[in-house]
A and B are shown apart, each in its own frame.
Chain A
Amino acid sequence: MSTRLARGGRYLDRSRPLAFTFNGRRMHGLAGDTLASALLANGQMLVGRSFKYHRPRGIVAAGVEEPNALVNLGAGGRFEPNQRATTTELFDGLTARSQNHWPGLGFDIGALGGLAARVLPAGFYYKTFIHPRPFWKHVFEPVLRQSAGLGAAPRERDADRYEHFHVFTDTLIIGGGVAGLHAAKQAGAAGRRVLLLEQSAHWGGRGPVDGGRIDGMPIDDWVNVTLHTLNDMPNVTLRARITGAGVYDHGYVLGYERVADHAPDAGGPRHRLWRIRAARVITATGAIERPLSFAGNDVPGVMLASALRDYVVNYGVSAGERTVIVTNNDDAYRTAIALQRAGLSVPCIVDARPDSSGVLPAQARALGIRVKTGTAIAGVKGRRRVAGVALCRHAGTGTVTERIACDVVAMSGGWSPVVHLWSHCGGKLIWDAAAAHFRPDPAQPPTNQAGDGFVRAVGAANGDLHLSGILPGGTAPAEAPPVPVWMMPLGADIGKRARMWLDYQNDVKVTDVQLAAQEGYESVEHAKRYTTLGMATDQGKLGNINGLAVLSDALKAPVPQVGTTTFRPPYTPISMGAIAGEARGHVFQPIRRTPIHDWHTAQGAVFEPVGLWRRPYCFPRPGECRADAVMREVTGARTRLGLFDASTLGKILVKGPDAGRFMDMLYTNMMSTLQPGRCRYGLMCNENGFLMDDGVVARLDDTTFLAHTTTGGAGHVHAHMESWLQCEWWDWQVYTADVTEQWAQIAVVGPKARAVLEKLGWNLGARALPLMAWAEGRIGAFDVRVFRISFSGELSFEVAVPASQGRALWDALLEAGAEFNATPYGTEAMHVMRAEKGFIMIGDETDGTVTPQDLGLGWAISRKKADYLGKRAQARRHMTDPDRWRLVGLQTLDGTVLPDGAYALAKGENSAGQRNTQGRVTSSYHSPTLGCGIAMGLVKHGPDRMGEVLAFSTTDGGTVLARIVSPVFYDPKGTAQNA
C-alpha cells in the first residue's frame, strides 16, 4: 500500500492540506503535491485502464513521461480529458476521474478483452475487420468506438481564456535543471539577453534528488545561490511552468505556459503560448529513464526507479512497503539507498549485469541491501497490484530460481537523453554504444537562415549523465557503464514476451514488434504505425528506444541502422485553447461594417457574411418570413423605389500616364478608349483565361480609372494588380489604391429613382445622365458621384458619397422616398433581380473553370487588342472546345425552383458507373416578377438547344424537368433601365 511518510518531501508544505476527489471519493493532499503524489499518498496506485486490453494500470513515472495516469480533470466548462496526474499540480477542490473503463475502475468489462490479448496482436484490426466491407461502417466501427478511446470529449464551451505572447531573445534555454541554470549563468555573464524556461514549478531538475555536490555545496544550496545570481542579472529572465514545446525553422520556438492550471480561480488566462524567436537555443531538457521489458512489467506497482525516489524525496510518499529493484545500471542503486534511508524495505536489488562493484552498489551493500547480479525478473505476481516477483538467471530462459514477496518493483533500463527539441528542426543523432542511448550529434545541428547551427544540447540532454561532465564544479560518485538490456531474461519464450509491455498507453508488447518485423515492416516508421508503438499521447517517451532495440534485434540490424522515428512537436500535448489564443468569439476575425450597418441592425436585418463584410440578406418585417421579405423587396424595387447599400462593392483607383495601357491588360475589354465621364462593364481574367472578377469601370479623367470589383474580390483584385505592376510591368507608370472603405455607395433603384433624387435637390441634370455615364456634383447637401448603372434591370443610380456621409444620405433617401414607399432591399433581392435580368454573378456562374466565352460574354472581349491577361490561354485547345458547357436560362415545366447545383442528366454511365451529365444549375431562385422558378445553368451546346427539355437530378433521387430558355427573363429590350 502506498502512503504518506512522516518525514520528507522537498516540495511539500505540510501546513497546507488540500482536499480533492478521485472518482467521487474525497481525498486529502498537501500543497506541493501533484495529483499523482496525492493519489499515492491516499493509497491509490490503480489509476486507469489500458487502451486496447483494458488492463489495470498504475502510476509508473513522476514526470511528463507518465503513460498510465491520465485522468478526466475538472467539470463543465473546465473539463479536460487525458491530463497527466504526474504533472497536474494539486489545488483545493480538484476533481478527477479515471478513464477508459466501464462500468468501474476496479471491475472493467473490457478487461475480458485482455484475456484475448494473445489473439489481438499487432495488425489484428487491419486484418480482421476488412471483410465484408460494409460491416466496418455498420457493425465493427460502432462497437469498437464504444470500447476504444481514452478520455471523454468535453461537452461545454471552454470557460477559460487563452493568449499568445511574442518574445525575442538572444539565448533561449529550455530546462531549468543544473545544466540549464549553469548555461543561463554563462550566457547571462556574457551579456546576452537570456530567457530560461522550466516546464515544472521547480528549479534544479533531478539534481537535488540524485545528489552530489557542486562547488562543494549540496545541489539544493547551489540551485538557490544560482537562482539568486540569475535574478540579479537584468538581462536574464526565468520562467517556470513553461514547456519548450517545439523548435522550428530560423530560431522559432513555441513555449507552452500553464498560467492558472494550478490556481484555476486566480484570474488571468489559463494558458499562454509563447511565440519565441531566439538567435540561439540551448536544450537542457534532461533525460528520461527507460523501463525494462520483463513479463508482467505493467502490473500496478511496477514503476521507474527514479520516479520512486522522486516520490520519496520530493513528495514524502512511499509507493509501497517492500520494493525490489531491477536494473542494468548503477543509477538505480540511488533508489535503493533513498528508500532504505526513508525507512522502507528493499529486500533485493536484481542487477542483470554479471558484476556490480561501483561506488553506489558498494554503498547499497554497506546499508545491508542484498544484491543479486546476473539475475533477471522471470515474472510478476499479482494482477491489480504487485504481490511479488520471481527471479531467474538473466542469461537463461527464465527458470525460476527464487520468489520474493514485494508490493513495488522499481525498474531502470538506463537513461535516454531528451533529444526531441534538438530533433524537431533537423538536428541529427548518434548512437552512443557505451551508454546505450541516442544523443545529439554536435556535427549535425539544426541550422538557421544563415546555415549555421542554432541549437546546442547541454547536460543529460546531451548524453552527459554525470554531474562532473555537466559543469566543472560538479562531483558525484563514479558510475560503471550500463549493460544494454532490451529483454529479460535473454532467452524468454513467447509466453513471457507476450507479457512484456513496451508501450503502456497503446498496449504494444515485445511480441507485437517482433511480429511486425516478421511480417515485413522493416522500416521503423512502418513498424510504428503497424503496432501503434509510440503513437499515444505520451509519444513513446518511455517505450520507443526499447521498441526499436527489439525491432533491430528481430531484423538483426544494429540499432543506429534501424534509427528512430521522427520527433515531432509538441514535446508534450498542448491545449487547443493555447493554440487558438485570443482568436475566438468576436475577435476570431475582423468584421467589416458599412457606414449604414447600424441602421440595418436596428431594422432587424438578417445578415450574411460576404468575405469579412456583413451584408443584409433581407429586412423581414414583423411576422414575415425571409422568403416573403425577399419577394416584397424585389417587387418594391421593380414597381416603385428600392434602396440598396452597395458600399461593400470594391473600388480601386488606377492612376498614372500608363493607366489606360494597364487597364487594357487587366480587362478583356478595351478600356483605354473609355471617355472620361463614361462607364464600361468589364471582365477580368487570370492568366489561365478563366473569369476572376467583373465590374463597372468609370473613367474619372485622362489618367485615372475607378475600377469597381465584386464585394469579395476587392482584396485579391488589388493584389493581382500590384503583382503584375511590381513583377512584370514595373516600368509602367501606374499607381493603384484600394479606396473601397472611403466611400459609401447607395443604389437608388426603380421607376421612382429619378424622382426621389430630384426631390432631394439633384443638380446634375438627371435627364442628361445617360445609361453607363457618371457625374460629380451635389444632391442637396451631399457631395456625390452618381453612376447611372443598373444591376437590377431597373432605372438605377448608384450614388457614392464620402463614407462619413453615408448614413446621412441613406436617412435622407429614406425620408424623401417615403412617399414612394421606398423599400430597402438586401443581397438576396439583389440576386433575384440580377438573375431575372440574366446578369452573371462571380462565384455563382463562375467557379474558376469558366471563361467569358462560356457565359456568352464574347461581346466584352476585345478583338482589337494584341494582348490581355488570359488571351493566350483562351486560345488553348480545351478552351475553344465547342463541347464546353455554356450559359443558358432554365425554366421548370412545373414552375418549381430547381435545386442549386443540380446536374442535367445525359444518357448512359461513365467508367465509374455514375450517370453521365450534360450541364448544371449555377443560380436558381423563385422570381416574384415572373411568378415561377427561374435558373441559370451551364449546358453542353446550351445556346444551340433553345426550347429543349432537360431532366435535372434532385437531392431525393428524383428528377425535375426544365426547358432551356434565354437567360434574360425580364425586360430583354431594356425598357426599364433606359427609362
Chain B
Amino acid sequence: MLILRCPYCGVHADETELTPGGEAHLTRPGPGASDDDFEGYLFRRRNPRGVHFERWCHTCGCGKWFHAARCTVTHQVFGTYSAQTTEPPGAIIAAIRARRPDWTPT
C-alpha cells in the first residue's frame, strides 16, 4: 500500500486514491512510424528490477496525472513530479543518485 505525494495538490495520497498508468516518458510516434517503432510504443515496456519511472493519476483526489520515480524492489520513492515533461527532472535524478550511487539512467 504505497503512499505517493501528488505534486499538484500536495496530498500524500494512499494507493487506493490513485490509478496506476504504467511506464512514464513513452514517446508517441507519428502516423508515419515504422511497424517496429509503433509496436514498441504500443506493447514493449521496461520492467526493471530497481529504479523505475511511472505514471500515476490522483483519481480520487485532484484528478491530475503525475510521475513517480520508485524502486520496484523496495518501493522506495525518490520523488514525484509533473507529468508535463518528457524526461525526469534533474532534481529527481539527483535524489535517485543520492540513494543509489551506482544507478545510471537508461
Q: Measuring CB to CB, which residues of chain A are less than 8 angstroms from any residue of chain B?
A: 248-252, 277, 426, 447-451, 687-688, 719, 722-723, 726-728, 730, 866-867, 871-873, 875-877
Contacts and interface: CB of A to CB of B under 8 A. Distances in A.
A581 to B, nearest CB: 13
Contacts of A866: 31
Contact of A727 (B14, B29, B77, B83): B83
A723 B55 CA distance: 10
A252 B77 contact: no
Contacts of B2: 249-250, 449
Interface in B31-81: 31, 33, 35, 38-39, 42, 55, 57, 59, 63-65, 71, 74-77
A722 B63 contact: yes
Contacts of A726: 64-65, 83-84
Contacts of A867: 30-31
B35 A722 contact: no
A250 B33 contact: no
A423 to B, nearest CB: 15
B31 A722 contact: no
A726 B82 CA distance: 10
B16 to A, nearest CB: 9
A723 B57 contact: yes
B84 to A, nearest CB: 4
A293 B73 CA distance: 39
A877 B35 contact: yes
Contacts of A723: 21, 57, 65
A203 B57 CA distance: 44
Contacts of A249: 1-2, 75
Contacts of B84: 726-727, 730
A872 B31 contact: yes
A588 B29 CA distance: 43
A866 B31 CA distance: 7
B28 A728 contact: yes
Interface residues of B, number: 28
Contacts of A872: 29-31, 33, 38
A449 B55 CA distance: 17
Nearest to B43: A688
The residue among B35, B39, B65 with the most chain A CB atoms within 10 A of its own CB is B65
Nearest to B100: A451
Given A450-B77, A726-B83, 10 more contacts: A249-B75, A449-B75, A450-B76, A451-B71, A687-B28, A719-B59, A727-B55, A727-B83, A727-B84, A875-B31
A512 B96 CA distance: 49
Nearest to A869: B28
Interface string B1-29: 11100000000001000000100000011
A449 B65 contact: no
Nearest to A730: B84
Contacts of A730: 83-84
Contacts of B31: 866-867, 871-872, 875
B42 A688 contact: yes
B1 A449 contact: no
Nearest to A449: B77
A872 B65 CA distance: 25
Contacts of B99: 451
Contacts of A875: 31
Contact of A876 (B35, B63, B71): B35
B74 A447 contact: yes
A873 B65 contact: no
B65 A250 contact: no
Given A867-B31, A872-B38, A252 B1 contact: yes
The residue among A249, A449, A719, A722 with the most chain B CB atoms within 10 A of its own CB is A449
A687 B75 contact: no
Nearest to A451: B76
A867 to B, nearest CB: 5
Contact of A250 (B3, B28, B35, B42): B3
A864 to B, nearest CB: 13
B38 A876 contact: yes
A277 B3 contact: yes
Nearest to B35: A876
A451 B74 contact: yes
A250 B57 contact: no
Contacts of A722: 63, 65
Nearest to B39: A876
A723 B64 CA distance: 9
Nearest to B21: A723
Contacts of A688: 42
10 contacts: A249-B2, A447-B76, A449-B2, A449-B75, A450-B77, A723-B21, A726-B84, A727-B83, A871-B31, A873-B38
A357 B69 CA distance: 59
Nearest to B27: A728
Contacts of A871: 31
Nearest to A728: B28
Nearest to B28: A728
B75 A250 contact: yes
A947 B84 CA distance: 55
A862 to B, nearest CB: 12
Contact of A449 (B3, B35, B38): B3
B38 to A, nearest CB: 5
Nearest to B29: A872
A671 B71 CA distance: 43
Given A728-B28, A867-B30, A873 B42 contact: yes
The residue among A248, A249, A250, A866 with the most chain B CB atoms within 10 A of its own CB is A250
Nearest to A868: B31
A140 B38 CA distance: 52
A871 B38 CA distance: 11
A133 B83 CA distance: 55
A250 B14 CA distance: 10
Contacts of A451: 71, 74, 76, 99
B1 A687 contact: no
A246 to B, nearest CB: 10
A249 B73 CA distance: 11
B82 to A, nearest CB: 9
Contacts of B33: 872
Contacts of A277: 3, 14
Nearest to A865: B31
A449 B33 CA distance: 39
A222 to B, nearest CB: 37
A821 to B, nearest CB: 46
The residue among B33, B75, B83 with the most chain A CB atoms within 10 A of its own CB is B75
A871 B39 CA distance: 13
Contacts of B3: 250-251, 277, 449
A255 to B, nearest CB: 14
Contacts of B71: 451
A935 to B, nearest CB: 33
A865 to B, nearest CB: 9
